[in-house]
Structure 1
Amino acid sequence: MLITVTGGIGSGKTRFALKYAAGISREGVYLSTGDHDPVIPELPSAHYRAIHAGNGQHLTEVITQINRESNLFLADQRIVIVDSLTSWMAAGFRATEDLDHQRSETQLLLDALLSYQGKLLVITNEMHGTLHPTEEERIFTARMASVNRMLQIHAEKMYLLVSGLAIDLKSQGMRNEDER
Structure 2
Amino acid sequence: MIIYISGGARSGKSRFAQEMALKRSMEPVYVATAKVWDENFAERVARHKRERGPEWTCIEAERNIHLQPIMDRVAVIDCVTLWLTNLFMTCQEDIEKTLATFKAEIDGILALKGTFIIISNEIGMGVHAATEVGRKFTDLQGWANQYVASKADEAIFMVSGLPLWLKNSSQK
TM band (smaller chain): 0.7 to 0.9
Task: Report if the CA contact (8 A) 2:129-2:135 is conserved.
Answer: no
Task: Report if the CA contact (8 A) 2:66-2:109 is conserved.
Answer: yes
SS in 2 for 1:39: helix
Task: Report if the CA contact (8 A) 1:43-1:49 is conserved.
Answer: no
Tell me the distance in 2 between the aligned counterparts of 1:157 and 1:11: 18
Q: Which residue of 2 aligns with 1:97?
A: 93
Q: CA deviation at 1:121?
A: 0.5
Q: Which residue of 1 aligns with 2:7?
A: 7
SS in 2 for 1:169: strand
Q: CA deviation at 1:97?
A: 3.1
Q: Spell out the pairing of 1:20-169 with structure 2 (5 A cutoff).
A: 20-34=20-34, 37=44, 38-40=46-48, 42-43=51-52, 46=55, 48-53=56-61, 57-58=62-63, 60=64, 62-66=65-69, 70=71, 75=72, 78-95=73-90, 96-128=92-124, 130-131=127-128, 133-169=130-166
Q: TM-score, normalised by structure 1?
A: 0.75
**How many residues are matched?**
160
Task: Report if the CA contact (8 A) 2:8-2:121 is conserved.
Answer: yes
- Residue identity (%): 29
Unaligned runs of 5+ in 1: none
SS in 1 for 2:31: strand
Unaligned runs of 5+ in 2: none
Amino acid at match of 1:102: T
Q: CA deviation at 1:127?
A: 2.5
Task: Report if the CA contact (8 A) 2:3-2:153 is conserved.
Answer: yes
Tell me the distance in 2 between the aligned counterparts of 1:104 and 1:170: 24
Q: Deviations over 1:132-174 (max 9, x none)?
A: 5422222221121112112212212221111211222225x9x
Tell me the distance in 1 between the aligned counterparts of 2:94 and 2:166: 35
Q: CA RMSD in A?
A: 2.6
Task: Report if the CA contact (8 A) 2:33-2:79 is conserved.
Answer: yes
Q: Deviations over 1:50-82 (max 9, x none)?
A: 1233xxx32x2x322425xx4xxxx2xx30110
